[in-house]
Every structure is written in structure tokens, then in C-alpha cells.
Structure 1
């Protein structure tokens, strides 16, 4: 755990020193939400509010998590001898989840100011948001690790990431819409369990595939 904590701290320090990616993501997030606000004149239905929120979060997460392994290019051989593969990928998964969760909270805050806030059941909505962030961050971290070893990284991110995130996105949007429609946790616990299971499968696949990718 000490190595994993140190790797998480390292990613935090690197992102803090290289503030351009963080500033770019926040600017992208704010400009996208503002564009949606201007397009809909500040008024949207619950269905459109829900879909727009997850679409904005999806494309923001791609830009945020895509750099997960790309920025490690100069340190790849160093970490190969210093840490074990499962320590590296676990640290990346934890950091990507925390990073995306912070982005999701900021996105929800800005989104609520400009486009309103139809959320009533906050605990269930936030639970679904956390599960969605786990799925998105895990999927894009795994794809970033695979694309890191290829020449066309941006293309590989799109080709490999899209099929993986489809079940996460469908379940998250469906759960979110039901929550906004007044459903309580007991009524959608089956969908929540399914979303959690998909997250576990993606994380398990990441642990299985990453050692082979790292050794190559």
C-alpha cells in the first residue's frame, strides 16, 4: 500500500506541476456547459438535462483520463523495475477515479447553475454518479494502458474505448433518468447492482490485461 500511495501522490504532483492539462479540461468543461446553456436558452426538460449531463461528462472523462499512461512514456522503464504491474495499475485506477469524481462534482455544480437542478434524491443520484465514474475511469484507464504501446494512440482510445463504455453509459443514463423521475433506491437496486457488476468486470479485465501490456 505504501508504494501505491506514493504512486498516487506522484500523479498528483505531476498534474499539479503541469497545470495546463487541468486548466484545459476545466475550460473545456465550462465552455461545453455554457454552449449547451446558450443553445437551449437556459431551459431544458428532465430527459435532455440528463442526457446532456452524461454526454458532457463522457467527453470530459476521455480528455482527462487519456493522459493516464501517455505522460509516463519517459518513466516507463524506470517503473518497470521499481514497482509491480498490479501496484501501478491499482494506483492509476484509484487516481483516475478520484480525478474524474472531482470533475463530475464540478460539472454538476456548473451545470446546475446554468441549466437548473431537477435532482431531488441526492444520495441515490450521487451513488449512481460514483458508480458511473468508476466505470468510465476504469475503462479509459485500461484503454489508455493499451493505447500507450501503440503508435496511433488517439485512434486506439476511440476504437477500444467506445465498446467498453456502452454498457456503463446506458446503465448510468437509465438509472439517472429513473432517479430524476422519482424512483427510490429500492426500485432500481437491480440496475444499480448490474452497473456495479459491470464496473467490477472492467476492473478485473484491467488487472488481467495490464501485466501483459506492461511487459511488452
Structure 2
């Protein structure tokens, strides 16, 4: 694994986008070599949605559907992003240090987690639709909300995962640090997604969509600016 990691990184070109794409591809290869993380998250989503459906006796209201969706997706996202730097612990940080700029590394990790969380959000929606019905009135609005949530979540959770890796991969840190940071996004997303379930007006909700987009952008800039300091530690 170490030899493969070194060989992959040694071929990283200097251009910005190519470096990020190489990091994304490398992370997919490393994660796919240990596929149990994907299947464990899928089992978590399946079991929690099924149990929620049983508790409410297959009569989830729109508000309950929305609340359970975001709670389950939030904790699934925390678990998914926790592994962001599991392959770079200890000496591998030094290996990256010789070939990569910290800005390239964090943006590559965020891009990978964005794709990962976006697919996870779609899978969670599909599982909810299968077990608890599909009460979404405007699917395109809901997909837009999921995309913005995946971007904001990936930025915050990737930075938190980097802090956790530097602190010895403490499993409690991601949940402790990420949930307060994600609270503004979760609050806005839950209100907006509930409107997409009951009837969505793009003109009325344009400001909330802009707020979510700005929160995701601020999270991305925060990770971009702070990670180099973490990298040098």
C-alpha cells in the first residue's frame, strides 16, 4: 500500500486541476480496496430508515420524514468523512509533504468527499422513498439542496477529519467539532428541504438557496485557508 501510494503521488503533475483529480482518483482507489466502509454506511442507512419506519408504523408525516432524513444523513456523512485522512496518518503526512501543496491536498479531499456525500445523499433518499414513501413535490429543488449540502458538509467535515488525524485519529473529535460547525447549514437546509416536500417556489426561496450556497462557500474558504497551518504542524 505504501509503495502504491508513493508511486501514485510521484506522478502528480504540477497543474492545479490535474493534481486535484489525481488525489480524487487515488482516494477512490484506496477506499475501494477496503470496500467495507461503503457497505457499512449502506447498512447503517438501511437499518435506521427501516427502524424509523417501524416505530412510526409506516405513517411518517412530511415533517418527520424531513427530520429523520437529515439526522440520518448527517451522522452518515460524519462517519463517511471521518476516514478522509485515515490513509495519511503518521509517516504518510511526510510523504505528501514532499510532493503536494496543502491547498491541492485539501481541495482534492473535499472534491472526493463531495462526490461521496452526494452519492450517499441520493442513496439515502432512495432508501427513504422505498421504505417511507416519496413525498417530494419538487425533485429538482431537493436535488439542488442535496448538492449544496454535500458541498458544505464535505468542506467542514474534511477539515475536521484533518484535525482529527493530527490529533491521533480520535474517533470522538469529528462528531464533537463538526456538529456545532454544521448547525447553521443543517438549520437552513431542513427548513428549505421541507418546502421542497410540500411545494417549492423558486422565487420565494431564492434567498435561502443563496444563504446555503454562501455557507458552503464560506466553509470551503475556511478549509482552504486553515488547512495549510494544520499541514505545517
| TM-score of Structure 1 vs Structure 2, range by shorter chain | over 0.9
1:142: which partner in 2? 159
2:32: which partner in 1? 16
1:108: which partner in 2? 125
User: TM-score if structure 1 supplies the norm length?
Assistant: 0.96
1:162: which partner in 2? 179
Provide Cα deviations, 1:168-197, integer angstroms capped at 9, x if missing partner. Answer: 100100000122121311111111101111
**2:43, 2:130 → 1: CA distance?**
16
2:12: which partner in 1? none
User: TM-score if structure 2 supplies the norm length?
Assistant: 0.90
1:76: which partner in 2? 93
RMSD of aligned residue pairs (Cα, Å): 1.1
Per-residue deviation at 1:152? 6.2
Q: How many residues align?
A: 216
**1:47, 1:15 → 2: CA distance?**
35
* 1:59 lines up with 2:59 in the alignment: no
Any conservation in 2 of the 1:85–1:211 contact (CA below 8 Å)?
Answer: yes
* 1:180 lines up with 2:197 in the alignment: yes
Per-residue deviation at 1:113? 0.7
**1:54, 1:80 → 2: CA distance?**
36
1:43 to 48, 59, 62: 59
Q: How does 1:86-97 map to 2 (within 5 A)?
A: 86-97=103-114
Per-residue deviation at 1:203? 0.5
Of stretches 59-68 and 25-34 in structure 1, the one that deviates more from structure 2 is 25-34
2:211: which partner in 1? 194
Any conservation in 2 of the 1:124–1:184 contact (CA below 8 Å)?
Answer: no
2:23: which partner in 1? 7
**2:200, 2:157 → 1: CA distance?**
30
**1:181, 1:172 → 2: CA distance?**
14
**1:172, 1:18 → 2: CA distance?**
32
**2:71, 2:94 → 1: CA distance?**
36
Any conservation in 2 of the 1:121–1:184 contact (CA below 8 Å)?
Answer: no
**1:152, 1:103 → 2: CA distance?**
23
**1:145, 1:153 → 2: CA distance?**
11
Per-residue deviation at 1:155? 2.5
Q: Which runs of 4+ in 1 moved over 6 A?
A: none
Provide Cα deviations, 1:128-151, integer angstroms capped at 9, x if missing partner. Answer: 111111111111111111111114
